[in-house]
Amino acid sequence: MRSHRDVALALGGLALCAWCGWVSGFHRGTAAAGATWVVSLAGVVVADLLLWQGRNGRQPGIRLDPAGLPWPRPGRGGRLALAGISPWLGLTVVVLGWEILGIDTGRHQPHLTISALTQAFRPLNAAMLLVWILVGTGYGVARARAPLATASRSSDGKGTDGTSRHASLVLFHAPATAPALLLPASRSIGVSFWLGVLVVGVLIELIARRSRGRVADAGELLRYVTAPPVVNVVLVVAWIVAGYHLFAR
């Protein structure tokens, strides 16, 4: 039975890679790009809906075993919990900093934001679409695998340590004639940066899985930060807007 599941997953992965490779051939802003993005979005929504149905014991649905232990682990809330998500926070700050500086490049310099680079390089476009789909599906998996003992905490708007979490970000755009202050004027370096982000994210995940709960893995991080319903909604909307901007508009 397990072998059949592994084969199905492998075939599904190959089909998904083939889909992303084909879709990457459409230029953003065309009807074909918009239509294929809607199909990709619908596929993720259906998968997440089936996961939610399975979580609540409804049919049709995909039933996943809940995570064995909650995060933060008992007695590791507060500052210890903040330390446990600090690697992910650090990576997020670096990415946001790069994106802001990438927007404020000069008129005759290549933009090194992920949206500009994905349009310049088809393989990167395909890879980013694959990542976007996996993030959306992984989000549903992480929510569906919430430990049963802590599932009710997601509705009180507070974290495990009883404190609310809010975040805000103010973006500004410099005039188009302003030169880039810190980023190199090289698309190859920009692509290397985003590949490096992916590698660092995988390394953090591997370290987290071996840390015995001291560092949050990706699923635990998602369940932790989306405990307040408003954060859950904001992240879902941000994911949809990002996909529309990257692959449709």
| Segment 98-123 mean pLDDT | 82
Read off the pLDDT of residues 197-230 as tens digits, 9 standing for 90 and up. Answer: 999 999 999 999 999 889 999 999 998 888 888 9
Please count the residues of the chain.
249
Tell me the C-alpha distance between 38 and 31, whole Å: 11
Domain extent for 212? 2-247
The 3-state DSSP class for residue 12 equals helix
Burial 20-41 (b: 16+ CB within 10 A, else e): bbebbebebeeeebbebbeebb
Domain count, the chain: 1
| Segment 131-158 mean pLDDT | 73
Q: Helix 187-209 and helix 218-225: axis angle, to 10°?
A: 90
Residue 195: CA count within 13 A, CB half-sphere? 9
- C-beta of residue 76 within 8 angstroms of C-beta of residue 168: no
Report the run of H or E that residue 104 belongs to, with start and end.
Answer: none
- C-beta of residue 239 within 8 angstroms of C-beta of residue 139: yes
Read off the pLDDT of residues 230-247 as tens digits, 9 standing for 90 and up. Answer: 998 999 999 999 999 999
